Amino acid sequence: MEQGTVTTIREVSEADFATEVVEASRTRPVVVDFWAPWCGPCHQLSPLLERVAAGHVGEVDVVKVNVDEAQGVARTLGVQGIPAVMAFRDGRVVNQFTGVKPEQVVAQFFAALAPSQADRLTAAAAVAADDEAREELLDRALAATADHPGAVVGKARLLAARGAPEQARGLLARVPGDVEAQRLLAELALARQDVDEEELTRLRAAADAGDASARLQLGRSLAAAGRHEEALPELVAAVRHPTTREEARAVVLDVFALLGPEHPAVAQWRPRLAAALF
């Protein structure tokens, strides 16, 4: 659909609001037009929203909510005057305005929500036919936005797969707070490998005899083998020893990052790590 045409904005009820707006905004932004049939300015704003929304089909969803029929939602969100327009992203309100605004203002409101050039190139890379095409798109995304998290992580994964982990780590340094970047750094730190059961038995015996370095190596080896729930008790035990405390702590945090905050093992062992440290 081309810019300037009109698209129909669907109605969302109070019962559907959590699913159709809050949860849906975790996939792509949702703009909500709060209105009522008796509101004259609402009827002025509605066609303007439809016209601007037509330029963002597939990038920003737009819905209408009748405040007379969704008083609970309106009250929860603090809607005091209508028309009121709220933009949701990742489950929360990120921008809003009240009243009828010039079309240029509404267009800027939508433009701020729409994907950037780097967003579009990174999305295209995710479905590219091969690594060569994927890398070309990611390089273009990084040229547009050097610290775009999705492009950084995507290119870093290609570098890691190519056998260039140090280059991957250098690239990931551009997005230090990104969860997926931290996960990939943890993967690189705990490069998966097969382990020799005889070597594990030797390390266990040494650890049980009081060798803190052996316990740390045992935990690291188990983690590298993907046996994270076996690794964590050994690593946290190594945290308790002053000679292996900091190194073991770093490996535990890598395991946590690799598993993700929702993993049961992370919930179980995070407080135990804190207790071991303090």
List the catalytic residues: 39, 42
Look up residue 226 and give its amino acid: G
Give the span between the Cα atoms of 161 and 138, in whole angstroms: 15
Closest CA to 186 of 131, 92, 119, 250: 250
Give the span between the Cα atoms of 194 and 197, in whole angstroms: 9
Give the span between the Cα atoms of 206 and 101, in whole angstroms: 73
DSSP-assigned beta bridge partners for residue 95: 87
Look up residue 59 and give its amino acid: E
Closest CA to 21 of 56, 96, 73: 73
Backbone torsions φ then ψ of 89, nearest 5 degrees: -145, 135
